[in-house]
Structure 1
């Protein structure tokens, strides 16, 4: 049961961080580029954080963060495509 809660916490943290990063990058670049940049930066930073937070066995923590990012990549890109099709302000 604890593993389920840890997984849900990791998934929600990843979703929140990717959404905030994409929103901030959206002010500087097109939605699709902002989504990819948020994904890349979030993946690097969260992977480093997960690897250092689990000093005994970093591989499961890193795999969990990688899985969460990959699960959230499709909705992030879908939202970026929808925003671009809606004709939001472009830079």
Structure 2
């Protein structure tokens, strides 16, 4: 993987992590929330590790079965996809 792609993935994951923290803050203060679709969009396009670490670190969305099982499944699918592409 080239350097630009690695930087883009790192940036996306940091952004996903920070967004999870912002949403947790907004939930605690009963403010306008970030949609769940946004988190799944970010996860599907490479930010899954950031979303998952944000869930664990901020203890956010941990009661939502869709997140508890969905985000790890996305990570697993991405690992399999990378392995298939690498060893094809």
TM-score range (shorter-chain normalised) is: 0.3 to 0.5
Who wins on radius of gyration, i.e. which is larger? 1
Structure with the larger RCO, 1 or 2 (CA within 8 Å, 6+ apart): 1
Give the TM-score normalised by the residue count of structure 2: 0.39
Normalised to the residue count of structure 1, the TM-score between the two structures is 0.38
